[in-house]
Amino acid sequence: MQTTLPSIAEVWGWLAAVPDPEIPVVSVTDLGIVRDVRWHDGTLVVAVTPTYSGCPATAFIDLAIETSLRARGVEHVRLERRLSPPWTTDWVTPEGREKLRAYGIAPPIDGTASDGGTAARAARLSGRSNLTVACPRCGSGATERISQFGSTPCKASYRCTDCLEPFDYFKCH
């Protein structure tokens, strides 16, 4: 029986409905971690890039993608790890950022990724850091960092000194 393979655009549409296992409000395409989708000799090849090298969610993400594609009737699926270029939060879509904010996670502020430099340290220590993370609940810019890391590798812990709520910041990376 001759069957027609689903189009690449259709597959991207399906992937847009696969939630991230740790922040289920955003999808794997919102996060920008699906780098390529193509057919190769009747096998659907999906290239996925890890967010952080040691992110324990990576295997779950692969499994979620594969499960969802099989549920759509795709029999032959192969997942490929794509390391370069490395994932950056610049690839988080505008819709993804809004979903994060609505969920209570401050979205990444582009251009503020760590560069290991001493200038950033000096600025931070003297309180002159230009990084203002707006509170995702009340919108106030009066926030402070509690910890460089949070509940997942991609987040840092902040608190708002106006509404007093703690919140996660999705780090620029």
Binding site for other proteins (CB under 8 A): 50, 52-56, 62, 78-86, 88, 113-116, 118, 120-121, 124-125, 146-151, 153, 157, 171, 173
Nearer to other proteins, 88 or 140 (CB): 88
Distance in Å, CB of 144 to other proteins, minimum: 13
Distance in Å, CB of 139 to other proteins, minimum: 25
Name the strands in the sheet holding 105-106, side by side, starting at the edge strand that comes first in the sequence.
105-106, 166-170, 155-160, 143-147
Distance in Å, CB of 1 to other proteins, minimum: 28
Nearer to other proteins, 13 or 56 (CB): 56
Distance, in Å, from the CA atom of 133 to the CA atom of 96, rounded to the nearest integer, reads 17
Q: Which residues, 6 or more positions from 160, have their beta carbon under 8 angstroms from its beta carbon?
A: 135, 137, 138, 140, 142, 143, 166, 167
Strand 166-170 relative to strand 155-160, pairing: antiparallel
Distance in Å, CB of 121 to other proteins, minimum: 6
Distance, in Å, from the CA atom of 99 to the CA atom of 65, rounded to the nearest integer, reads 20
Distance in Å, CB of 28 to other proteins, minimum: 16
Query: Which structure tokens are listed for 8?
Result: 């690449």
Nearer to other proteins, 99 or 154 (CB): 154
Nearer to other proteins, 8 or 102 (CB): 8
Distance, in Å, from the CA atom of 58 to the CA atom of 117, rounded to the nearest integer, reads 29
Nearer to other proteins, 2 or 147 (CB): 147
Q: Which of the 8 DSSP states describes residue 80?
A: E
